[in-house]
Amino acid sequence: MTVIVTKEQGEFVESFRTFLDQLDYRAHGLGIAWQEPEKEERKWFYQALYENGWTGVGWPKEFGGLGRSAIEQWLYIEELSYRHLPFGGLTVTSIGPTIIRFGTDNQKAELLPKILRGDIDIAIGYTEPEAGSDLGSLRCQARRDGDVYRINGQKIFTTAAHYSTHIWLAARTGTQEARGRGVSIILVPTTSKGITIHPLMTQSGGRTNQVFFDDVVVPVDQRVGEENEGWNIIMSALSFERIIPYGSVARWFDLTSRLRSKPRATTELLEDSYDLRAMEFAAELEISALFAERTAREIEAGRVPNVEASISKVWLSEFRERVAKTTLDFVGPEGQLGLGGDDAPAGGIFDYLYRLYPMMKIGGGNNEVQRNIIAQRGLGLPR
């Protein structure tokens, strides 16, 4: 990819690649095909990163991080994304930095080392059945009762809740009329009495969850930031998660290009068409890299990349879907064989990605909402 880095940044990435090349992660079922790692596999990998000094890349050194730049953190995530290895997700890239900014001294001392070691995994609890993109209308309530909150309500599409230790919960502590000004962030252990987690299976076969809170009791000191100030914390957390890695689609593109040496297309016309599309995809992959790099540089400069991140999200999610459809056409009927099939090309990845990628246009912020952000904040258009 055409990414401009300094000599020091390049050496950092090469050093990390050398470490990963020497780490026998495949023996632990990681980086193989596109399977999501089990909880124990994920924990082993986090521990290996931690013990070798490869965690908290962008965190300040005083909180156990490496104190590297936003560019280096982005390159680090891209390398893990390309190899399909876990990197701690939003727990490391978003929630940890938000706790550094808004958490109490006790919260920092208690939570940050555990996040770096992989002892804590945190799922995002924002979306509700009637409060998707409009978080100001959420209804999950946390009622103050002395030194505790009593939480009642429901969250949906809470990805990772089934293996996470905590939920980063946006709950209403003020009136419904207060909308965003009446929301607080509370860190809720998933082992708390009264929590029920039900699976929601997606069309790709992956799992997300709906979570029910039935009079769940959580100490007030688990609230992050001031009461009813959760909206600002959510916005800050979002600013830390703006970089969307393109590494996984780059690996997929490389895999497809290698398959091209063994054509499976049914007609010569389709093969010629795929050659043309492959060249277009190579150019579009460069664009994906440049969008991601621009977002990282905005963060590096201390700015919140609202518009840049929205552009990158819309572009990459729709690019992935285009590649999925065209590649499945090229591979032919065999491409519909599912993951793990002995006769499936590339282990069945093409069928899986065809079913997975349409969801990317919705998850992480619906693309139509992102287009509104681009129009209003980027182009100055009216609501």
Q: Rounded to an integer, what distance in angstroms lies between the CA atom of residue 266 and that of residue 333?
A: 9
Q: Rounded to an integer, what distance in angstroms lies between the CA atom of residue 42 and that of residue 38?
A: 6
Count CB-CB contacts under 10 A for residue 53.
Answer: 10
CA distances to 124, 188, 209, 317, 355 from 200, rounded to whole Å, are: 15, 21, 5, 21, 15
Which residue is associated with the tokens 């104190």? 67
* Structure tokens, 190: 């998933």
- For CA atoms 226, 227, 229, 234, the dihedral sign is positive
Count CB-CB contacts under 10 A for residue 50.
Answer: 18
Written as one letter, the residue type at 79 is E
Q: Determine contact, residues 367/361, Cβ cutoff 8 Å.
A: yes
241 as an active site residue: the answer is yes
Catalytic hit among 241, 271, 318, 334: 241
Which residues lie across from 217 on neighbouring strands?
150
Secondary structure of 140-183 in HEC code, one letter for each residue: CEEEEECCEEEEEEEEECCCCCCCCCEEEEEEECCCHHHHHHHE
Count CB-CB contacts under 10 A for residue 352.
Answer: 22
Count CB-CB contacts under 10 A for residue 383.
Answer: 5
Q: Which of 258, 310, 249, 312 is nearest to 281 (CA)?
A: 249
Three-class secondary structure of residue 201 per DSSP: strand
Give the contacts of 90 (CB within 8 A, at least 6 positions apart).
122, 124, 237, 241
- State in Å, rounded, how far the first CA of the chain is from the last one: 37
Which of the residues are catalytic?
241
